[in-house]
Amino acid sequence: MTVSAPKPLEKAVLCQVGIVVKNADRMAKKLSDVTGLEVPATIITDDYEKAHTQFRGAPSPAKAKLIIFNMGQVAIEIIEPIGGPSTWREFLETRGEGVHHIAFTVADAARAADELSAKGIPTVQSGVFEGGKYIYVDGEKELHVILELLEFESR
C-alpha cells in the first residue's frame, strides 16, 4: 500500500506579495503614482495581547505598519517593521529592503505549517488578526523565499 506524502500547498492560492521597507508611506505614495490606485488605509498590527505573536518560538511584541494595495487577483503588502523582534525586522536587517514573502490562502494553516516543517521548511512566526490567522514559514533554504500561510475565518 502506498501512502502519498502530504502536499501542504495543494490548491493553495497565491494571494499576496509582501515587501519589507523602511518607510511604508513613501513606497505607498510611489506605488499609487505608478498604478493610479489610491493609497489604502494604514494598518498597525495589534499588540501582543490581541495578536499573540510568536517569533522563533517565543512571544514577541512584534509590530508593523502595513499598507495593502489590492492589485486585482493579488495584493501587494507594504510592511514597515515598527517594533519588537520579528521576521520583518530580521529580513530588513539581514537582507535589506525587498520582497519578504509570498502568501498563500490555505484551509488549515497549522496543518500546512506542520507538513512544511516535515519537509525542511520550519515555522518562523505566527499570529492572529481580525478575521484570521497567519503563519510565516522559512522557505529561504528550500524555496529561496519566506512563505506566509493565511487562514481566513469562514463567515
Q: If you write DSSP's letter for every residue of 79-119 in order, what string do you get?
A: EEEEESS-HHHHHHHHH-SEEEEEEEE-S-HHHHHHHHHHT
Stretch that binds a copy of itself, among 20-28, 42-50, 82-90, 127-135 (CB under 8 A): 20-28
Interface segment toward a copy of itself; rule CB under 8 A; list 13-21, 39-47, 48-56, 124-132 = 13-21
Give the burial class of 85: count Cβ atoms within 10 A of its Cβ; 0-12 exposed, 13-18 middle, 19 or more buried: middle
Instruction: Give me the 75-104 binding string for a copy of itself, x by CB under 8 A, dash otherwise.
Output: -x------------------xxxxx--x--
Q: Which helix (H) or strand (E) holds 51?
A: helix 48-51
Task: Give me the least distance between CB of 37 and a copy of itself, in Å please.
Answer: 8
Q: Name the minimum Å distance from CB 39 to a copy of itself.
A: 13
Task: State the Cα–Cα distance between residues 86 and 59, nearest whole angstrom.
Answer: 10
The residues binding a copy of itself (CB under 8 A) are 5, 7-10, 12-14, 17, 19-21, 27, 30-31, 33-36, 71-74, 76, 95-99, 102, 116, 119, 121, 140, 142-145
